Structure 1
Amino acid sequence: MQSMRLYGISAAIAALLAAPAAFAQDGDTASGKRFSVVGSATILEPDSDPLGAEVRGDVAPTLSATWHANDNIGIELWGAADKFNHRVRNQAGNLGTVDAQPIALSGQYHFGAADNTFRPFLGLGYHQTNISDESIGTGEHVSMTTPKGAIGTVGLDININPTWFARVDARYLDGDADLKVAGETVERDVGFDPWTLGFGIGARF
């Protein structure tokens, strides 16, 4: 299973690296826009409980910058501008908090013409999520290694004018990490598979 996941991630990265050359032959974009940036308020909700307890979601600002090979193909760098702070609970109550800060590189396909009012898009890429400031009241320091893996994106841009647009997007981050207690690994390949929901405003230039 792990080898299949690594193969899939490697294939996605190869596709991202090949995209600029493959689509350069299409020439200039019809819209004349090569770059876009988006600022969003994003909810990140863990899909699993990597610490063996309930890990609650949080809201943080995220930013993305996309280079457009043409009006339909783009390569996006996306990440959290601040840390998501997650409270950790079990049946006994609050255990503490842990911070997460993801960053990802994805290839995207935007459907329809650049001047369409509604433009859905899909993305696939690779992410890593920095885990920090673990403050779990177990008596010994609890930590996690950096989860890494594939990220999938679905979204919708709503054009306001040729420059400005609104965006809603959802992302799923697949990745595993090792769980450590007092510096010793106690469990390997713990699932850390959060999803996000973002609402933002973007500009093309």
Structure 2
Amino acid sequence: MKKTLSAALIGLFLGTSSYAHANLSVNVGAINVNPDSEVSKINEAPTLGLNADDDTQLGLTFDYALNDNWTIELIAATPFSHDVNGRLGLEGAKIGNIKHLPPTLLGQYHFGQAGDTFRAFVGAGVNYTVFFDEQASQDLKTTLGTDDVELKLDDSVGLAAQVGFNYAFDKHWGLHGMVSYMDIDSDASVYANGQKALTVDVKIDPVVAMLGVRYTF
């Protein structure tokens, strides 16, 4: 259901753009999600905490130009995977692994004129992050004294802000670069033997950076 919703957002964007391909651009390249380094403390034991490492995947973004200056962009990617590591009193322990898809829809303002070789832009919009396939580590299972351990994260909705540029090589091909900040917060729960054992207010709040090739239809 979660993956279906993300796919529907992408399908809706492409469907509304199909009648005017001349206004559509596709950007493909490496995209990195680097979570905030702030430690998320375990609610039941504030001397214990955790945070997630960064990950790089294949980024795919779609731009639909409304006019010479305003554009709608949808950010998509292959699923991100993050190791969740212990901090504070859990330093050195691996808590688990999580995967997510963070489709983000933004409105962008592009400076300059439509024919310019280099165009900078700023954007703002909404991010919807879907968490799935959360896996508890053996370290966490050992700490809780059971192999029946589940790790669950709630989906997140938050604001996003962006700066970036497009550089045109010719009529169709170019270079695309952007940096975004996304407000991604989630309630994480750890279940042991079917009972909720731990809860964490996870603040991911990543910086997302992408550099890729741009093709304009």
CA contact (8 A) 1:83 1:99 kept: yes
CA contact (8 A) 1:49 1:192 kept: no
Residue 112 (structure 2) aligns with: 112
Deviations 1:92-151 (A, max 9, x none): 333331112110111111111122221111111101111112112222212110111101
Q: How far is 1:77 from its partner?
A: 1.4
Q: Of 148, 158, 161, which residue of structure 1 is paired with 2:170? A: 161
CA contact (8 A) 2:83 2:97 kept: yes
TM-score normalised by structure 2 residue count: 0.73
- Distance in 2 of aligned mates of 1:135 and 1:79: 23
Q: Of 184, 202, 210, which residue of structure 2 is paired with 1:198? A: 210
Are residue 60 (structure 1) and residue 57 (structure 2) matched?
yes
- Distance in 2 of aligned mates of 1:124 and 1:33: 23
Are residue 95 (structure 1) and residue 95 (structure 2) matched?
yes
CA contact (8 A) 2:40 2:200 kept: no
Say if 1:118 and 1:109 are closer, same or farther in 2 by CA, change over 3 A: same
Larger radius of gyration: 2
Say if 1:77 and 1:68 are closer, same or farther in 2 by CA, change over 3 A: same
- 1:109-148 aligned at under 5 Å gives the runs 109-137=109-137, 138-139=140-141, 140-148=149-157
- 1:157-196 aligned at under 5 Å gives the runs 157-182=166-191, 184=196, 186-187=198-199, 190-196=202-208
Are residue 46 (structure 1) and residue 42 (structure 2) matched?
no
Say if 1:190 and 1:88 are closer, same or farther in 2 by CA, change over 3 A: closer
CA contact (8 A) 1:53 1:89 kept: yes
Which blocks of at least 5 consecutive residues in structure 2 are unaligned?
1-20, 42-48, 142-148
Residue 27 (structure 1) aligns with: none
Q: Which moved more, 1:151-160 or 1:137-146?
A: 137-146
Residue 84 (structure 1) aligns with: 80
CA contact (8 A) 1:49 1:55 kept: no
Say if 1:176 and 1:54 are closer, same or farther in 2 by CA, change over 3 A: closer
- Distance in 1 of aligned mates of 2:161 and 2:30: 18
Q: Which moved more, 1:135-144 or 1:46-55?
A: 46-55
Which blocks of at least 5 consecutive residues in structure 1 are unaligned?
1-31
**SS of residue paired to 2:212:** strand
TM-score normalised by structure 1 residue count: 0.77
**SS of residue paired to 1:202:** strand
Residue 8 (structure 1) aligns with: none
Q: Which moved more, 1:185-194 or 1:131-140?
A: 185-194
CA contact (8 A) 1:179 1:185 kept: no
